[in-house]
Chain A
Amino acid sequence: MIRLESVYAGYGGGDVLQGVDLAVRPGSITCVVGPNGAGKSTVLRTISGLLRPRAGQIRLGDQHLNGRSPAAVIAAGVVQVPQQDGLFGQLTVRDNMLLGGYLIRRDKARLRRRMAELAETFPIIAERARDKAADLSGGQRRIVEFARALMTEPRLVLLDEPTLGLDPKTCQTVFETTRAIHALGATVLMVEQNVRFGLKLATDGVVMERGRVLLAEPAEELLARPDIAAMFFGSSAGAGTATGGPDAPGH
C-alpha cells in the first residue's frame, strides 16, 4: 500500500535514515522494530510530512508523498498517532475529536456521522465528551487518540510507539484497540520499542538498524528467530548494535 524507496532523511546532524526500502502490504498490521537510534520513529515522521527526506521516494499507491505537507498527507489518507502529547490536554475530548476531522470540517454532515460511528466503537468518546482530555487516564487518552485518528477514515494509520509510557495493563488495551482499528478496515504501520508486544500484535514484521531495513518477514516467523532475541531482549553483548552515532530524538 505504501512503499519507501531508498529514503534518506536526517535532522541536520547527519542522516538518521540511510537508504530505507520498505513496503507495507495493504490490510496488514506491520510492525517496525529495532534498537535505539535505528530510525523507526523517523520513518513515520518522514511519511507524515514532518520531516522532508533528503533523497528517495515515498509512494502511496501511485501518489508521491515525499516532501508534501502534513495536511496533504492526511488528505491522501495517512494519519499518525504520535508518541506523546498527541491529544490537546486543555481541550475537551469532543474538541479533540473534532480536530481529528479538521480537514473535513466543512462537511458538517460527514463530521457528525463519523463522531457517531466512532462513539459506537469507542464509547468513551461520548461518555467523557465534555471533559478535558488531560483529566483522562493514560490508557483512556490513547483510546481517544486512536479514535481521533479515524475521523477522516484513513486508509493507513501510523502508530508511533503506542505503548510508550504505559504500564502493561494499559498495553493490553492498546493491543485490543489496534486490532479493532484493523478490523474496521485500516492498514496499520506501527513502530514499537517492545519487540514481543509489537510482533505478537502484527501480521508483518520489519527490523531496522542504523537507518536501514535489515529484515522483513511475517511477524510470527520474526518473533521465533533466535538471533532476534539476542538483539533485543536485554542482552548487553549485542553484536553489531554498538552504535556510537547520534541518538534519534526522543530516545
Chain B
Amino acid sequence: MTLLLQTLILGLLAGGVYALMSSGFTLVFGVMKVINLAHGAMIVVAAFLTWWLWDRTGIDPLLIGVCLSPVMAGIGWLLYKTVIARVQRVDWELTLVASFGVAVAAGGVMALIWGAEGHAATPSYVTASFELGSLVVPEAQLYACVGAVVLLAALYALLRGTFLGRAIRASSANRDSAALVGITVERTMAAMFAIGAATTGFAGAALSVLYQFVPDSHYVWIGRILCVVILGGLGSFLGAGLGAGILGVSEALTSSYVDARWATAVPYVLIIVILLVRPQGLLGGRVRADGVAA
C-alpha cells in the first residue's frame, strides 16, 4: 500500500512538471493549431542556459528560469517570424516537419556549445524532501509543481481576461474578421507564440534541477509533451493538466510494478492508443468537419 501511494505521489508530481513543460505548447496548439516540435528543444536549451548560469553564479536555478523567460520569449518570437509564419501558408503537415528540423538543428547547436555529456543543476534542495508519515515528497518536484499551477493559471487569466487574450482567440477564429476590428493579426500571433516560448524558461530550469539532460534529451521531452497534449485533447489547459497527471502516474506505475526500462515507452504507447481509440483526447468534444449549414 505504501508503495502504491508513494508511486502515486511521485507520479503526480512528475505530472505537474509535465504540465509545466506542456503549457506553452498547449497554448500555441490550442489557439493557433500549430504543432511546434521544437518546443522540447527550447526547454532543453533553457535547461542548458540555466545550468550554465547557475554553474557560474550560484543563483538558484528556478529563479534563473524565471529570468530566462524574456530571453526564451525573444527566441520564440524569432522562430515564429522566420519559420512558423512562413510555413503555415504552405502546408500544414510541413509545419511539423519544419519545426522538427529546427529541433534537430538546435540539438546540434547545443552539442556544439556544451558537448554531449550529461548535466544537471544541483541546488541545495535537490535531494531534500518533505516527509508525510512514511511517504516522501521531494522538495524540488513540489516547487516545480507549484510553479506549474501558477503558470497555467496565469495563462488562463491572460486568455480570458485581457485584450491580448481576446485578440489571440479572435485571430485564431477568423483572421479577416479580426483585422476588421483593428487587430494586427500577425503581431498578435507572434506575441502568442512568444508567450508560449516564455514558459520554456521556467520549464527548462525545472528540467535542469529535476533530471539529468543531454542535447538529445529533446526527443524524450517532445515525446512526453505530445503525449500530454494528445491525451488532454485539442489544446485545453484542463486537458493538458489531466493528461500530464495520467502520463506521470502511468510512468511511475510502470516503473514500480513492471520494469523501469519500460517506463520510457509509456508516452509512445499512450499516444498511439489515444489517437486510435479517441483522437479528440479525453476532454475534447467531437470534432465535426463542418458546422450545421443549410
Contacts and interface: CB of A to CB of B under 8 A. Distances in A.
Q: Indicate whether A and B are direct neighbours in the complex (CB within 8 Å).
A: yes
Interface of A: 48-50, 69-71, 74-75, 79-80, 82, 85-91, 95, 98-100, 102-103, 105, 148, 152
A103 B182 contact: yes
Contacts of B181: 74, 99-100, 102-103, 148
Nearest to A106: B163
A102 B173 contact: no
Given A82-B176, A85-B174, A98 B166 contact: yes
Given A89-B173, A91-B166, A95-B169, 11 more contacts: A50-B179, A50-B180, A74-B181, A75-B182, A80-B180, A86-B180, A87-B177, A88-B170, A88-B177, A99-B163, A99-B170
Interface string B180-220: 11111000000000000000000000000000000000000
Q: Is the interface of B mostly helix, strand, loop or mixed?
A: helix
A77 B68 CA distance: 42
Contact of B183 (A48, A71, A79): A71
Contacts of A152: 182
B167 interface: yes
A100 to B, nearest CB: 6
Interface of B: 163, 166-167, 169-170, 173-174, 176-184
A202 B166 CA distance: 35
A82 B167 CA distance: 18
A88 B159 CA distance: 14
A82 B180 contact: yes
B180 A99 contact: no
B180 A70 contact: yes
Contact of A91 (B170, B176, B182, B184): B170
Contact of A102 (B163, B169, B174, B176): B163
Contacts of B179: 49-50, 70-71
Contacts of B174: 85, 88
Contacts of B173: 85, 88-91
Contacts of B170: 88, 91, 99
B163 A88 contact: no
A87 B173 CA distance: 9
Nearest to B173: A88
- When A and B form their complex, which 9 residue pairs have the shortest distance between CB atoms, in order from nearest? A103-B182, A70-B179, A71-B182, A102-B182, A74-B182, A88-B173, A88-B170, A105-B163, A85-B174
A177 B148 CA distance: 48
Contact of B184 (A71, A79, A98, A99): A71
B163 A98 contact: yes
A152 B182 CA distance: 11
A152 B170 CA distance: 18
A131 B176 CA distance: 23
19 contacts: A49-B179, A50-B176, A50-B179, A50-B180, A74-B180, A74-B181, A82-B176, A82-B180, A85-B173, A85-B174, A88-B170, A98-B166, A99-B163, A99-B183, A100-B181, A102-B167, A102-B181, A103-B181, A152-B182
Nearest to A91: B169
B169 A90 contact: yes
A80 B177 CA distance: 9
Given A82-B176, A85-B177, A70 B182 contact: yes
Contacts of A75: 182
Task: Report which residue of B173, B174, B181 has the largest number of chain A beta carbons within 10 angstroms of its beta carbon.
Answer: B181
A70 B181 CA distance: 8
Contacts of A89: 173
A50 B166 CA distance: 21
A105 B183 CA distance: 11
B163 to A, nearest CB: 5
A103 B176 CA distance: 16
B133 to A, nearest CB: 46
Contact of B167 (A79, A99, A148): A99
Contacts of B183: 71, 99, 102
A157 to B, nearest CB: 12
A152 B180 CA distance: 12
Contact of B166 (A79, A85, A99): A99
A130 B275 CA distance: 34
A92 to B, nearest CB: 10
B184 A82 contact: no
Contacts of A100: 181
Contacts of A148: 181
